Copies of this chain bind each other. A is one copy, B any other.
Amino acid sequence: MPVMNEAALQAFLAREFPQIEGLKLTIEAVGDNYARVRMPVDGSQLRPGGTVSGPTMFALADVSVYIAILAMIGPVALAVTTNLAINFLRKPGLGDMLAEVRLLKLGQRLAVGEVHLFSEGSDEPVAQVTATYSIPPRNN
């Protein structure tokens, strides 16, 4: 079960990862190997065609997996992404973007998360992401 709640995670990210402040993420829910994160969509992430950019979706998915991991193991600032694969499925809509994360594995050394990105109001995913994080040795 989670050891950090939404508010604690939100505060940790603001303090340790100021570089993602621009994404204006809201951690909506965390649970057992689960997280849901919301990103408002406004002009700044848009391509001319009105689409959220690939790097922005990458950033949202990547940090959302990190949030799901932190929720379970506590504040480990040094977990790093080793592999991330993204499939772009359809054009995003105009609403906020939501990341739904499920951790498929949370081992001593590696965690693997699966993310589906949705535009609010649609249940067809805009993108699917699988990410692997390397977790530093925890001496306990």
Contact = CB atoms under 8 A, between A and B. Distances in A.
Interface string A63-97: 00000000000000000111111111110000000
Chain A, interface SS category: strand
Interface in A36-59: 46-48, 53-56, 58-59
A128 B112 contact: yes
Contact of A54 (B58, B90, B109, B132): B58
Contact of A90 (B19, B48, B56, B105): B105
Contacts of A62: 54-55
Interface string A100-124: 0000110001101010100000000
A39 to B, nearest CB: 13
Contact of A132 (B48, B80, B87): B87
> In which size bucket is the chain A interface?
35 or more
A31 interface: no
Contacts of A80: 88
Contacts of A46: 19
A91 to B, nearest CB: 9
A2 interface: no
Contacts of A112: 87, 89, 128
Interface of A: 18-19, 46-48, 53-56, 58-59, 62, 80-90, 104-105, 109-110, 112, 114, 116, 125, 128, 130, 132, 134
